Homo-oligomer: A and B are copies of this chain.
């Protein structure tokens, strides 16, 4: 009889966003007159850059004519996009990569989720806490997480707490781990690592022959100069790290779906017989077997982001969101809150007032000022006592939310 992958059965339901929806709906039923402002969403609201819009219209027209039609593209992505990535995302920062080290895809969620396909199930995995849930859930599915314990943690995962006490800088693991997920700028805390801090992780990975899975989906929001945009700005990273990038937050591609993964030739892993093999070749084989390339239209839209026009347009949109973040930081600080992030990232990690946990703080903001955030504990136990706010909303909503919060704090 057909058997399931039993690891899937171990996964509890993910109730964070449905719990939020239930509480919000109950509130709306009781207070139909309330003007709710949602600052919890992780999705963008600004339209695509006009350069991408033009490029996608052109691409659609190409597909309308047999003479310019494009069928199956390379599973790894079109060279026009790969060359733009190499030039603008890497060469401009002093990082040289080979075209065959870039794998264009339908987004960083797919890639971070699927990358484990090529890795052994016996590898020991480290994740930060709080964390983007895909890293944990995809490892549960693969059988690397072990069993769920009463405290909500998996017994085979190594958790790296990121708290106000350690300034959200995770400590190197005590034990030896094989796979380390790092996301910087961080979702959900909005914090970053300096080059010196990231160097410690690369050194650890080299010393322990571990692999860093570096999620740089929010790279475009970095403003400060000592924050690395790519892990390959760090000495030695080419031998121990893969990097995930996304156009979702950079250029509003959440509904268009495009990202890419960098797998340098030097990154190796061991076979059962003790041989070293390049992960680049295994990932290529995985993608050629279980993926069929990214839409031509989408890739033309992504290429256009790298034109002078496209660069100016995405900078404007990112500035819009970061001005939201600045207003929100300022408003929350003047209302007496303690907060983190929001400087190099579109996420603000707000500490709940003394004595409140994440959900009580969530309820308080919902009921007192009709503002919806995301309870930090939903991202892991170390998120308890925090709330995530995002800067992806409309300017007027951010301003109104801050006015309400300041008035409420001043009462």
Contact A4 B119 (CB under 8 A): yes
Interface hits, A59-85 → B, CB 8 Å: 60-61, 63-66, 69-73
Q: Which chain B residues border A70 with CB–CB below 8 Å?
A: 255
Contact B53 A178 (CB under 8 A): no
Binds B, one of A26-34, A193-201, A206-214, A322-330: A206-214
A64 and chain B: residue at smallest CB distance: B53
How far, in whole Å, are A288 and B252 apart by their CA atoms in the complex?
20
Interface hits, A288-342 → B, CB 8 Å: 288-298
Q: How many residues belonging to A are interface residues under a CB distance threshold of 8 Å?
A: 81
**What is the 8 Å Cβ interface bit string for chain A, positions 129-149, against chain B (1 contact, 0 not)?**
000011001100100000000
Question: Cβ of A50 < 8 Å from any Cβ of B?
Answer: yes
CB distance from A5 to the nearest CB of B (A): 5
A4 and B289 in contact (CB under 8 A), knowing A45-B71, A69-B46?
Answer: no
Interface hits, A80-125 → B, CB 8 Å: 106-107, 109-110, 113-114, 117-123
A279 and chain B: residue at smallest CB distance: B4
Contact of A106 among B73, B106, B211, B288 (CB under 8 A): B106
Contact A66 B43 (CB under 8 A): no
Contact B69 A47 (CB under 8 A): yes
Q: Which chain B residues border A9 with CB–CB below 8 Å?
A: 271, 275, 277
Question: Cβ of A1 < 8 Å from any Cβ of B?
Answer: yes
How far, in whole Å, are A106 and B75 apart by their CA atoms in the complex?
12
A294 and B3 in contact (CB under 8 A), knowing A48-B64, A64-B50, A141-B117?
Answer: no
Question: Cβ of A23 < 8 Å from any Cβ of B?
Answer: no
**What is the 8 Å Cβ interface bit string for chain A, positions 185-222, against chain B (1 contact, 0 not)?**
00000000000000000000000111100000000000
How far, in whole Å, are A406 and B125 apart by their CA atoms in the complex?
63
Contact of A255 among B4, B8, B73 (CB under 8 A): B73
Contact B4 A292 (CB under 8 A): no
Q: Which chain B residues border A72 with CB–CB below 8 Å?
A: 43, 254-255
How far, in whole Å, are A264 and B14 apart by their CA atoms in the complex?
22
Contact A109 B4 (CB under 8 A): no
Contact of A285 among B11, B118, B123, B257 (CB under 8 A): B11
Q: Which chain B residues border A71 with CB–CB below 8 Å?
A: 43-45, 252, 254-255
Question: Cβ of A35 < 8 Å from any Cβ of B?
Answer: no
Question: Cβ of A179 < 8 Å from any Cβ of B?
Answer: yes
**What is the 8 Å Cβ interface bit string for chain A, positions 216-257, against chain B (1 contact, 0 not)?**
000000000000000000000000000000000000101111
Question: Cβ of A400 < 8 Å from any Cβ of B?
Answer: no
Contact A282 B45 (CB under 8 A): no
How far, in whole Å, are A61 and B254 apart by their CA atoms in the complex?
16
A294 and chain B: residue at smallest CB distance: B257
CB distance from A112 to the nearest CB of B (A): 8
Contact A289 B256 (CB under 8 A): no
How far, in whole Å, are A292 and B210 apart by their CA atoms in the complex?
28
Question: Cβ of A24 < 8 Å from any Cβ of B?
Answer: no
Question: Cβ of A348 < 8 Å from any Cβ of B?
Answer: no
A298 and chain B: residue at smallest CB distance: B295
Across the A-B interface, the 3 shortest Cβ-Cβ residue pairs: A113-B290, A3-B120, A1-B209
